[in-house]
Structure 1
Amino acid sequence: MRNETIHKLQEMRLSAMAGAYMPQLEHPENFSNMTFDERFALIVDHESDVRLNNKLKRLIRNAHFPNSQADLADIQYLPDRHLDRGLIHLLSTNAYIEKSRDIILCGATGSGKTFLANALGMNACRAGYKALYLRLPDFFVEYALTAARNKQQDYTKKLQNVRLLILDEFLLIPVKPPQQESLLELLERRSGNTSTIYCSQYSFAGWHEQLGGGAIADSILDRIIHGPYKLEIKGDVSMRQRLAEADKVEELNSV
């Protein structure tokens, strides 16, 4: 009877529940002081925890973060970086995702834009949101490949359903006319329904020129400028250099 119960749980894909039930069968003396409800709650809680952990792992894996260890708790609020601690705390609540608001992160190479974006993405995954990290140059390449097969609509529809899209290296290279149209299509699908984090070396004032100017550039910016949170990351020294110097000090201290 007991083996049959375990087998049925496994057949119903409740293997974690079956795993939690087995110790109660094998060592009932360890649970003799517990009521049936308490013992059953242990089994159900274990199944729930395993499912949540598996879902988180799946969300992180599918997000393709270059740094899946990034954490908002590890942000270095150094004076020269001029980071808005209050704004980052607000973003940590993920309320911006619920309100479908965007984030613009500007800063020089090595300033920590990608780390902060990844940390926000990881934070969103922990809250159960579907996220995706994507370099803008890679988006243009993938769009062109799918367009060659007349599948570009399927590709943009897939990106449309991502609650938090991180577009890194945004406008690093000036956008050409065909790319203008593909970017406009993407933002049109996502505008007002999802959140996007834009990571750019250019300040917002220079985006129109990088977008190639003209009416399409106007249309693209019109889908970005309404109510985004803006963070400009400054710094006298790049975070890569700071971390490299910190590693050297740690190595010397360990000798």
Structure 2
Amino acid sequence: MRYPNADLRCVDMLEQRGLDRGVIAQLGTCQFITRHMNVVFQGFTGSGKSYLGSALAKQACQHRYRAHYIRMPDLEETWTAAKDKPAGREKWLRKYSTFTLLVIDEWLLDPPTDDVRSMLLELLERRYDATSTVFCTQYAKKDWHQRLGGGVHADAIMDRIVHNTLWIETGDVNMREHTAAAAG
């Protein structure tokens, strides 16, 4: 995980962030996982998305769920490498579709290629209504369709995400800057 010591109980609830303590506490119960819901942490650079995603993955593990954290560029890289192995892409899809909780950080940081869009559609189809996915992103939902290239692939990917998702804005406070100022 990006932050192995991340803990939902230690999230800085700085008022300017606009985080709801009740929502964060509810996420800590992992009930969203039993309901096969997704979570989106959306906010500016440094607003704590990766920390929250790491904390949620750690919490899921403590509840004995199989969780995995990966950055979108690394997910794409492992997908590309899988094509050179016998049945590599099918094995890859099986692996990533069966994590009870999959945290994808830096979601849509770079627009995906056609190959990656096809992979995302297949992966999210396999995960839909069976597992939970956390997306950590700088982009608001209104920008996702364009970032996904528009068209039918973008429609289909969005359809498998937006209907059963809890959207949490992490605000515009740079927590790295805030933490450094508090320590100094």
TM-score, structure 2 normalization: 0.96
Deviation at 1:187, TM superposition (A): 0.6
Superposition map of 1:11-50 within 5 A: none
Aligned length: 183
Partner of 2:119: 182
Superposition map of 1:43-82 within 5 A: 65-82=1-18
Richer in helix (by share): 1
Q: Whose radius of gyration is greater, 1 or 2?
A: 1
Larger relative strand fraction: 2
In 2: Cα distance, 1:126 partner to 1:97 partner: 13
- Deviation track 1:168-225 (CA, whole Å, cap 9, x = no partner) reads 0000011121111011111111111000000000001100000011000100001001
Query: Which TM-score applies when normalising by structure 1?
Result: 0.70
What is the distance in 2 between the residues matched to 1:173 and 1:108? 15
Of the three residues 99, 105, 110, the one matched with 1:168 is 105
Q: Equivalent residue of 1:133, what SS? A: strand
Which of 153, 157, 161 is the aligned partner of 1:220?
Answer: 157
Which runs of 4 or more aligned residues in structure 1 lie more than 3 Å from their structure 2 counterparts after TM superposition? none
Distance in 2 (alpha carbons) for counterparts of 1:69 and 1:141: 26
| Structure 2: unaligned runs, 5 residues or longer | none
CA displacement at 1:113 relative to structure 2: 0.3
Match for 2:22: what amino acid?
G
The answer to whether residue 26 in structure 2 is matched with residue 90 in structure 1 is yes
Residues 130-209 of structure 1 correspond to what in structure 2 (within 5 A)? 130-149=66-85, 150-209=87-146
Question: Unpaired segments of 5 or more residues in structure 1?
Answer: 1-64, 249-255
| RMSD value, Cα | 1.0
- The answer to whether the aligner puts 1:210 opposite 2:122 as a matched pair is no
Task: Report the counterpart of residue 63 of structure 2 in structure 1.
Answer: 127
Structure 1, 143-152 or 108-117: larger mean CA deviation = 143-152
The answer for the alignment partner of 1:14 in structure 2 is none
Structure 2 CA distance for aligned equivalents of residues 124 and 114 of structure 1: 15
1:244 to 159, 166, 180: 180
What secondary structure sits across from 2:126 in the alignment? Answer: helix
Q: Are 1:112 and 2:48 matched, yes or no? A: yes
What displacement does 1:138 show?
A: 1.1
How far the C-alpha of 1:101 sits from its partner, in A, is 0.5
Please state whether the residue corresponding to 1:243 is helix, strand or coil: helix
What is aligned with 1:54? Answer: none
Q: How far is the alpha carbon of 1:148 from its aligned partner?
A: 2.7
What secondary structure does 2:154 align onto? Answer: helix
Same amino acid, percent of matched pairs: 39
Distance between the aligned counterparts of 1:186 and 1:86, measured in 2? Answer: 31
Q: Tell me the CA shift for residue 247 of structure 1.
A: 2.0
